[in-house]
Copies of this chain bind each other. A is one copy, B any other.
Amino acid sequence: MSLKFINLTPEQQARITAARERVAALHQELPRNDLVVWTAGNVSERIPAQIGEPELFVIKPSGVSYDELSADNMVVCTLDGQKIEDGTSADLQPSSDTNAHAYVYRHMSGVGGVVHTHSPYATSWAARAEPIPCVLTMMADEFGGDIPVGPFALIGDDSIGRGLVQTLLSTRSRAVLMDRHGPFTVGTDARSAVKAAVLCEEVARTVHLARTHGRPERIDQHHIDSLYKRYQNVYGQKGNS
């Protein structure tokens, strides 16, 4: 059965249009924060669905330059990673990482956004399959502890998605470093997943630098817990990430 031509209510169509715009705009944060080069990296966001509506998400097209991304060329997929025609997108294939994103959306209903990059400092920890130790208050705030490593997995089937979900379920970190590959981050929406990708690279860089000239001491677990709890509840304006 092909979902290629799918019936969408006007309400869902409107939600797709809004998500296309958000996701296209958020992609610009990736080169701006030096997380990607050329066409690497991708952001996706789940489309909120009513009962009876199909579950969908919006993602970057494969191999398209960041200069050329727009709401119109984002690709809409089902949670099986199949592209659907919603009447707007050009005839583009979705990101080659679409299967990994889809797997996360199928298995973690609280996840509304996923980001993948090869940001250099985070990827350098991934290359050594080494977790980033929680030695900074900003790590405790955002990630609630160490940033863990996920298994080595090849692209093309559900291996990456499975490794990602297993690792995410064993930690409160919103970032995972996939072995010899790079970081994935999740959030309640695409914006919070992008924020986690930016902060993941920032702490990867700062702890890399700190480690060059010594061994920074891990923050005590009860302090980490206290910082994490506060930041998740108090920081920012209400309803803002």
- Using CB atoms and an 8 Å cutoff, list the residues of chain A in contact with chain B: 33, 37-40, 61-64, 92-93, 96, 118, 120-121, 123-125, 127-130, 135-138, 152, 154-156, 180-182, 195, 198-199, 202, 205-217, 219, 223, 226-227, 230, 234-237, 240-241
Contacts and interface: CB of A to CB of B under 8 A. Distances in A.
A39 B236 CA distance: 9
Contacts of A208: 209, 212-213
Given A128-B210, A199-B37, A136 B123 contact: yes
Contacts of A154: 223, 226-227
A16 to B, nearest CB: 21
Contact of A202 (B118, B138, B199, B213): B118
Q: How many copies does the complex hold?
A: 4
Given A38-B198, A120-B209, A227-B155, A64 B137 contact: no
A interface, by DSSP: helix, strand, loop or mixed?
Answer: loop
Contacts of A137: 155, 180-182
B237 A206 contact: no
- Most chain B Cβ neighbours within 10 Å, of A198, A206, A214, A235: A206
Contacts of A214: 128, 130
Given A207-B127, A223-B154, A235 B96 contact: yes
